[in-house]
Amino acid sequence: MQKMLVTGSSGLIGSEIVSQFCHEGWSVYGIDNNMRQDFFGPEGDTRWNQKRLQELHPNFTHIELDIRSREEIFRVFSDVKPDVIVHAAAQPSHDLAAKRVFDDFETNALGTLNLLEASRRTSEDSIFIYLSTNKVYGDAPNMLKLVETETRYDYADPEFHNGISETFTVDQSKHSLFGASKLSADILVQEYGRYFGLYTCCLRGGCLTGPNHSGVQLHGFLSYLIRCNIEQKKYTIFGYKGKQVRDNIHAVDIARFIQYFIENPRKGEVYNIGGGRDNSVSILEAFSLAEKTTGIEMQSSYTPENRIGDHICYISDLSKIKAHYPLWNLTRNLEDIFSEIVQSISSRLKIKGGER
């Protein structure tokens, strides 16, 4: 039986990967210590998702471990000897990174180094897949010429119609400390592929989303927005008139790509992965879609000051990833994504209401 090790296994992407590969008959080991709750408080708690995975999948083993614990990471790799490592654990908020600078860098950069070196020492034939971020490009996408419509900003130059490609600069821009720590890890993952010859890839995600997200204000755009709508709480828009654009990809489509990469791995590769133009949406457009899905009017407030390093318009160019893996495609559109998130959040809120 093939063995997979997933970090951040109780989170959005990690849990989707656990479920998919458990269904495929893999022996899956998940590393998670609910650090998201430490970062974001009770609303970031992922224990419910850990419990769900343990109940659903007998071939899933939860390992309570902090990826910053180097000796323990080495021990786990030595014991498990995984064929594939999917690294989805992170401190994910660029706002929080400025307040917890050491936690951010040690989790995102040094934690990744611990995993890479443990993988290299255990088996150089293993496959290492890293969930990176579009924040590695810093705020350089904001330097592109934009046009403003009634509901969104968009690229003015036809060259960028399909979005930002992997050749876009990662230098000479403001990243936020989160972006800097994730870029450090991104380069490390590339280097372990190029220098040591390991099978590695960085997936530079747009907005990764889905029904199993514990969304909070500082991280989890659609999940948090939809939860505010359902609970009739005010959603705060930070700058850009609510016309800032993100492309959104369902966690299941991330997991599907990982399966294709495992079947045909490459060394030191980088892919932008997101929803592309078809799954792009501004905050204002997301309000309308949430209202359409739930029938509940959106409550919001506006502050003109934008978040540091926030993208005005970001769309992932999927040309390269589709060229390398032509059988991979998106299976969830925005309407599907909104519907699934609404159903999941409504169900969780009912359970909590019953517990009280």
Task: Write out pLDDT tens, residues 80-133.
Answer: 999 999 999 999 888 889 999 999 999 999 999 999 999 999 988 999 999 999
> What amino acid occupies position 93?
S
DSSP state of 25: T
> Domain coordinates of the chain in residue numbers?
3-355
DSSP state of 200: E
- Say yes or no to pLDDT of 266 above 80: yes
Position 353 scores a pLDDT of: 57
* CATH superfamily of the domain spanning 3-355: NAD(P)-binding Rossmann-like Domain (3.40.50.720)
Per-residue pLDDT, averaged over 153-158, amounts to 98
Question: Among 204, 41, 178, which residue's Cα sits nearest to residue 104?
Answer: 178
Contact 148, 282 (CB under 8 A): no
Q: Residue 320, exposed/middle/buried by CB under 10 A (0-12, 13-18, 19+)?
A: middle
Contact 130, 112 (CB under 8 A): yes
Question: Among 20, 83, 9, which residue's Cα sits nearest to residue 259?
Answer: 20
- 82 versus 355: the higher-pLDDT residue is 82
Per-residue pLDDT, averaged over 42-62, amounts to 94
For residue 174, what pLDDT band results from cuts at 50, 70 and 90? very high
Task: Write out pLDDT tens, residues 183-238.
Answer: 999 999 999 999 999 999 999 998 999 887 666 565 568 889 999 999 999 999 99
DSSP state of 277: G
